[in-house]
């Protein structure tokens, strides 16, 4: 189990990465965050105590996040060195020259000199300029993760990203990457919550000292793809009632106790505060064992990237049968 390190003055806890750096145990997810709302949400989150903001070029809101960060730095709310900023390389920029262009654009939009963590968003390559999500045969470019990773390593050596990693990589795809990587990925960011606990992936990543960050840690309630409800599951609600906590806090605390950093998403100030209030208590071992019995369902399946045009014809190929 990854070691959780606490920092008393800010009540933040961290996980140590394989490169010696420390990632906050909880961060703010910004996927699907309305650009008109995300700036205020970022400022509120930082005021509450969040020290990790998770971004991505494809989310379409890095400029607004950058404006919020600039304001927080300017007003002395937080220092740059006390924040952890993650961003991601989109599928359209897998070519080595395009990786350098992508990180420069992200740094410009975020108004930063560096990001703390830069991830390959998906093991999928689109043609530069593509705006789709893989539905068309015209979307795809040849996939060469080895070359893309070499360019990511150069980003790390340049100092424009302090740590590098991947997202949505299975055990098999990580093995392929590790076979030629000079720098081992520090992080694999994946869907992870009580209804999709990623046990196989967690064991492999632990064996390679790769940290898991869980997105959709609440199961993305309200989303069209959420076929089951984490927050309505009887076991989660039983434990919530026992501990006197909201079901969302049980799901989030489960993630941290499982050794993962987590990225709950909200633009609601009250929810931002409630989601953060999980660092000074724990779920008893017997209740963690109950959560381990919850039936497993991958919610974010990304069917649009599985077709005759791209590298993965089926969901089984994209996820290497881990469904």
Instruction: Tell whether residue 121 is among the known ligand binding residues.
Output: yes
Active site residue 59: yes
DSSP state of 280: S
Residue 307, burial from CB neighbour count under 10 angstroms (0-12, 13-18, 19+): middle
Please enumerate in sequence order all residues whose Cβ is within 8 A of that of 182, keeping only pairs 6 or more positions apart, or say none. Answer: 150, 153
CB 40 within 8 A of CB 267: yes
Cα–Cα dist 217/36, whole Å: 24
Among the listed residues 216, 238, 211, the one whose alpha carbon sits nearest the alpha carbon of residue 294: 238
Task: List, as own/partner pairs, every contact residues 281-284 make where C-beta atoms lie below 8 angstroms and the sequence separation is at least 24, other chains included.
Answer: 281/243, 281/245, 281/253, 282/253, 282/257, 283/239, 283/243, 283/250, 283/253, 283/254, 283/257
Catalytic residue among 50, 59, 118, 215: 59
For residue 43, how many other CB atoms are within 10 A of its CB? Answer: 18
C-alpha neighbours within 13 Å on the C-beta side of residue 259: 19
CB 192 within 8 A of CB 260: yes
C-alpha separations of 123 from 23, 24, 63 in Å: 23, 25, 25
Q: Which residues of 61-77 are buried (b: 16+ CB within 10 A; e: fewer)?
A: bbebbbbbbeebbeeee
C-alpha neighbours within 13 Å on the C-beta side of residue 176: 15
Cα–Cα dist 74/82, whole Å: 14
Binding-site residues sit at 121
Binding-site residues for substrate sit at 121
Residues marked as catalytic = 59
């Amino acid at each position: 189990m990854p070691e959780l390190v606490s920092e008393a003055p800010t009540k933040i806890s961290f996980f140590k990465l394989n490169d010696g750096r420390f990632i906050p145990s909880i961060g703010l997810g910004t996927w699907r965050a309305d650009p008109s709302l995300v700036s205020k949400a970022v400022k509120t989150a930082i005021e509450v105590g969040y020290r990790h903001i998770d971004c991505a070029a494809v989310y379409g809101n890095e400029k607004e996040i950058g404006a919020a960060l600039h304001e927080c730095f300017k007003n002395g709310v937080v220092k740059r060195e006390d924040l952890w900023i993650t961003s991601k390389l989109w599928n359209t920029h897998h070519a080595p020259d395009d990786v350098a262009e992508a990180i420069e654009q992200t740094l410009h939009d975020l108004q930063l000199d560096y990001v703390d963590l830069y991830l390959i968003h998906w093991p999928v390559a689109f043609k530069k300029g593509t705006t789709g999500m893989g539905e068309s045969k015209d979307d795809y470019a040849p996939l060469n993760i080895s070359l893309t990773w070499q360019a990511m390593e150069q980003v790390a050596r340049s100092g424009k990203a302090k740590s590098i990693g991947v997202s949505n990589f299975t055990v098999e795809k990580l093995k392929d990457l590790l076979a030629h990587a000079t720098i081992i990925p520090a992080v694999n960011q994946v869907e992870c919550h009580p209804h999709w606990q990623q046990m196989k992936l967690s064991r492999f990543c632990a064996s390679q000292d790769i940290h898991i960050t869980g997105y959709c840690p609440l199961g993305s309630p309200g989303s069209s793809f959420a076929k089951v409800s984490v927050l309505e599951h009887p076991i989660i609600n039983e434990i919530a009632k026992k501990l006197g906590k909201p079901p969302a806090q049980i799901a989030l605390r489960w993630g941290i106790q499982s050794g993962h950093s987590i990225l709950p998403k909200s633009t609601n100030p009250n929810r931002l505060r409630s989601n953060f209030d999980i660092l000074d208590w724990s779920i008893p071992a017997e209740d963690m064992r109950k959560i381990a019995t919850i039936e497993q369902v991958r919610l974010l399946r990304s069917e649009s990237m599985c077709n005759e045009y791209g590298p993965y014809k089926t969901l089984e190929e994209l996820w290497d049968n881990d469904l």
